[in-house]
Amino acid sequence: MTLIDGKATAATIKAEIKAEVERIVAAGGKRPHLAAVLVGHDGGSETYVRNKVLACEACGFRSSLIRYEDTITEAELLDCVKQLNEDADVDGFIVQLPLPKHISEQKVIEAIDYRKDVDGFHPINVGRMAIGLPCYISATPKGILELLRRYDIETSGKKCVVLGRSNIVGKPMAQLMMQKQYGDATVTVCHSRSRNLREECLAADIIIAAIGRPEFLTADMVKPGAVVIDVGTTRVPDATRPKGFRLCGDVDFANVASLCSHITPVPGGVGPMTICMLMLNTLAAGKREYYQ
Ligand code: GUN
């Protein structure tokens, strides 16, 4: 069994990005600039955004953090998006989700200029991704593709089960694994209402678990020799930990790992890659790689 080390892979990629940024700057080019908008004080979002800012520093990017209380109105947030769209120094930006209930996430996403949408959430990027055109690809599925590639895991013609159908992970992951230029696999998407879930998983060469239920994928659902990618990051209360919780994946790692040819741990698997792919998208934004 090979443990897929997302933390080490992400560190390697960030060093590659930094080297490229220094080459660009030395040649008189512009240092990439990522802005992040954080609304409110959700614990998970605070951590993600802090890590995104730290990753920018590691990559040699400029970063700006724009904070609002969760009393901000939708109109005020839309105005902030408009300003970032128009700010020529900002190459790309993200609005951290989730947003407070009184703000429409979809409206905010659609207000972002798709050419600066380094999250890859705007319908133009989602649509371009679905038909294989150059675009920003959302960070978690992009990071998983990168792990599969860097660990030389063959996906072409393989049977891949994606557990979960979210807009951020499940749907784009399935699209990408299906496409000839990325996964080139035979893809089945399963979700909470799927029948024969165990049988579907047992037939899979590659399982990507993104269903958001701790330890959902158990050993009786995994074919020996399968590749298992765990996207889950549920905070489970744990009094023995300094923060009072631990991160729990969607895979029953203790019992599944020994069955697999490759598996990602939680933490240290997909998570670090996600932020790293946001950095790659920001580098592409700085270089105007997909859009002028
Ligand atoms: N919330 C959870 N994941 C993400 C992400 O990748 N981007 C944004 N903007 N919000 C998130």
Sign, CA dihedral 76-115-130-162, equals negative
Instruction: Tell me how far apart the alpha carbons of residues 212 and 254 are, in angstroms, rounded to a whole number.
Output: 18
Contacts of 257 (CB under 8 A, 6+ apart): 1, 3, 263
Active site residue 230: no
Same domain? 90 vs 168? no
Asked if the structure places residue 220 within a domain, the reply is: yes
Active site residue 181: no
Element (H, E) at 168: none
Q: Are 175 and 145 in contact (CB under 8 A)?
A: no
- pLDDT band of residue 146 (cuts 50, 70, 90) is very high
Same domain? 177 vs 234? yes
* 155 C-beta closer than 6 A to ligand 1: no
Same domain? 114 vs 167? no
Identify the pLDDT of residue 53. 98
Q: Which of 52, 77, 108, 119 to mutate to test the pocket of ligand 1 (most atoms within 8 A of CB)?
A: 119
For residue 208, what are the domain limits? 139-272
State pLDDT tens for residues 76-90.
Answer: 999 999 999 999 999
Q: What is the CATH number of the domain that holds 152?
A: 3.40.50.720
Q: Which of 53, 96, 112 to mutate to test the pocket of ligand 1 (most atoms within 8 A of CB)?
A: 96
Same domain? 113 vs 146? no
Q: Are 20 and 28 in contact (CB under 8 A)?
A: no
Asked if the structure places residue 278 within a domain, the reply is: no
Active site residue 119: yes
Asked if the structure places residue 7 within a domain, the reply is: no
Instruction: Tell me how far apart the alpha carbons of residues 35 and 48 are, in angstroms, rounded to a whole number.
Output: 14
Same domain? 198 vs 93? no
Please give the distance of CA 79 from its chain centroid, rounded to a whole number. Answer: 26
Identify the pLDDT of residue 93. 98
Same domain? 116 vs 52? yes
Asked if the structure places residue 121 within a domain, the reply is: yes
Asked if the structure places residue 258 within a domain, the reply is: yes
Q: What is the CATH number of the domain that holds 115?
A: 3.40.50.10860
Burial class (CB within 10 angstroms; exposed 0-12, middle 13-18, buried 19+) of 86: exposed
Could you give the number of structural domains in the chain? 2
Q: Are 33 and 283 in contact (CB under 8 A)?
A: no
State pLDDT tens for residues 164-191.
Answer: 999 999 999 999 999 999 999 999 999 9
Identify the pLDDT of residue 64. 98
Arithmetic mean of pLDDT, 224-235: 97
Arithmetic mean of pLDDT, 278-285: 98
pTM here?
0.96
The last residue of one of the domains, among 101, 127, 153, is 127
